[in-house]
Structure 1
Amino acid sequence: MQDLLVLTLSLMLLFVAMVVRRHGHASSKAVYTRLATRLKSTFAGWLRQPAIVIRDRATAHRLLVRGCVGGSFSNRPPSMAPSAVLSHRRYHNLTSAPYGPFWRVTRRNLTSEVLHPMRLHRYAAARRDALCDLVADLKEQCTSSPDGLVLAAESIRTAMFGLLATMCFGDGVDPGLIRAMADAQHDLVQFFPELRVFAKLPAIARLIHRQRWSKLVALRRKQEEMYLPLIHARRSRQRQSGETPAYVDTLMDLRVPDDHNKRRRPRRLTDGELVGMCSEFLGAGTETVAAALQWIMANLVKRPHMQEAVRPHFGFFTVMKHPLRAHLAVLP
């Protein structure tokens, strides 16, 4: 019913566009905007999912913690992730997938194959290289800047993206390509707020906001041009025994339930889904860690007494060439 309604409204909008096109670009755009506003206000009640507000803490605890209604409250609102928007919500990544078999399989793969403490030690060499690159970048800025200005935020973001690129695609990724991927990912993150217009009536929104849709398609195509060669290279190469698997290797080995097949037979992830999940891994890991480190640095600058409290602990680790995770865990 909803698909039929969207199709009908799309045909109506196309007819109106053909009629008003002769009146010029400015007037046609004004007609598009007024028509979209009226359609949204008229049909939003039919298409919008019911909003449930729970104010009683006992009821919230029973629904969310005790899980007396199964997974009814485990889902999230429709995501504006590019993979979901571009595929008309047919394909998802981990953050955009609704709660269900696909989400559980992909989340289990990420937590057990990459983020588990027993797996993270395999990337110790990559972490050391990223730390050395970060320190070298900060030192270079200190010596080259006439006023001693250091852009620590950009250095942290660059180092984290390089580390995650190695974890995602393995060793040997060209540094120039990593910088290009980081720039493309940053452009996509900055464009996220513009995707809200596709949350309701996406078929009509694509016609009204053609420039935004074209920009989104161009950003995703740019990512595919950089990611797919790396994915195909990992797929065609012969893995060595004892080699640390990359995140994309675990995704290519993964079998997910096919929600669009009546028999729900397990299937492999498509290239579009692989690109979306790699972009999600690189973007989420970089931005969250970089933001956390910036918050820590800002609080250290704001509270000098905290610097004196942590200085003895860091003095102990400076004499260690390669501190272990167990040693770092004792930091306050």
Structure 2
Amino acid sequence: MSLLSLFGLVWSFSEIKLLLRDFTLKYGPLVTLPLGSSPAIFVASHALTHRALIQNCAVFADHPRALPTNRFFSSDQRNISSATYGPTWSLLRRNLTSKILHPSRVKSYSHARRWVLCLLVHSLILRLDVRVRVMDHIQYAMFCLLVLMCFGDKLDDKQIQQIESVQRRLMLSMSRSNILNFWPRPGKIVFRNRWKELLQLRQDKEDVLIPLVKARISYKAKQQQGAETEDFVAAYVDTLVD
């Protein structure tokens, strides 16, 4: 699901931002970087962004055919960050923009943001007597907010750390698994241990996330049956199963 694809990015966003700022100052507002097995294009100009995403949106709307390992982790390109331009992508995009990221919906997250701010302040107060890297705590607070937006529930530290751990391991495995994309079929034999690692990572991810999805579906079912429940926040999971 699309919000989960943001999890890993939250942790390294500040470093990426600083790197891109240096590159754009040196090379201009359009920068291409070879990240993993595919080039990534970063646009640092409002005018160029408008031309690409508004004036020529149809040209840039599609995603290329994913590499084997990426298809494996995206369930054959069935999420908004990898789906090909068509009905599936349109449905996922509509769910995300109209039900989660719509301005009216964003306002409804104000109490969620206050909760996350309290977590951040509390974690810093507990460490007043030692030197801390404040950005780490800000990133963790943002991660808590994204988890809340995904699953509609305040998870405890242990659950959040489990999600963070599996997402981080997935991101770190991307570069290591690139070699499997060059010769997929013989690679499964020659590099069978790496394929086993990927299979285990996928299983670990499902073991962590699927129970949360099922819990949310069960909660919404009870709500529809008239049980006295109160939504803390609308969840992205709700838009996928409604």
- After TM superposition, the score normalised by the length of structure 1 is 0.49
Q: 1:172 to 1:212 in 2, by over 3 A?
A: same
- Check 1:196–1:142 CA distance in 2 against 1; reply closer, same or farther (3 A cut): same
Task: Report if the CA contact (8 A) 1:82-1:220 is conserved.
Answer: no
Aligned positions of 1:203-282 closer than 5 A: 203-237=185-219, 238-239=222-223, 243=231, 244-253=233-242
What is the aligned partner in structure 2 of residue 150 from structure 1? 132
Counterpart-to-counterpart distance in 1, 2:53 and 2:155: 43
* Aligned position for 1:115: 101
* Equivalent residue pairs, number: 186
- Equivalent residue of 1:207, what SS? helix
Does 2:188 match 1:197?
no
Partner of residue 175, structure 1: 157
Rounded Cα–Cα distance in structure 1 between residues aligned with 2:156 and 2:229: 24
Paired AA for residue 75 in structure 1: D
Q: Secondary structure, in 3 states, of the residue corresponding to 2:126? A: helix
Deviation for aligned residue 1:111: 1.0
User: Aligned ranges for residues 16-95 of structure 1 at < 5 Å?
Assistant: 71=58, 74-79=61-66, 84-86=71-73, 90-95=76-81
Please give the alpha-carbon distance, in whole angstroms, between the structure 2 residues aligned to 1:66 and 1:175: 44
Q: Give the AA of the match of 1:250.
A: T
Hey, what's the Cα distance between the residues in 2 that align with 1:93 and 1:79? 12
Query: What does residue 21 of structure 2 align with?
Result: none
State the shift of 1:122 in Å.
1.8
Runs of 4+ aligned structure 1 residues displaced above 4 Å come to 61-67, 70-73, 80-83
What is the CA RMSD across the aligned residues, in angstroms? 2.9
Change (3 A) 1:138 1:80: farther
Amino acid of the residue matched to residue 102 of structure 1?
T
> Which has the larger Rg?
1
What is the distance in 1 between the residues matched to 2:189 and 2:64?
Answer: 23
User: Which residue type is aligned with residue 103 of structure 1?
Assistant: W
Indicate how the Cα distance of structure 1 residues 86 and 170 shifts in structure 2: closer, same or farther if over 3 A, else same: closer
Rounded Cα–Cα distance in structure 1 between residues aligned with 2:182 and 2:91 = 28
Q: How far is 1:242 from its partner?
A: 7.2
Gaps of 5+ in 2: 1-49
Q: Are residues 82 and 105 of structure 1, via their aligned partners in 2, closer, same or farther at CA, if it must alter by over 3 Å?
A: farther
2:151 is equivalent to residue 162 of structure 1: no
2:170 is aligned with 1:184: no
What one-letter code is carried by the residue in structure 1 that aligns with 2:212? L
Choose between structure 1 and 2 for higher RCO, CA contacts under 8 A separated by at least 6 residues. Answer: 2
Residues in 2 aligned to 1:94 and 1:194: alpha-carbon distance in whole angstroms: 24
**Secondary structure, in 3 states, of the residue corresponding to 1:186?**
helix
1:255-280 CA distance string (max 9 Å, x none): xxxxxxxxxxxxxxxxxxxxxxxxxx
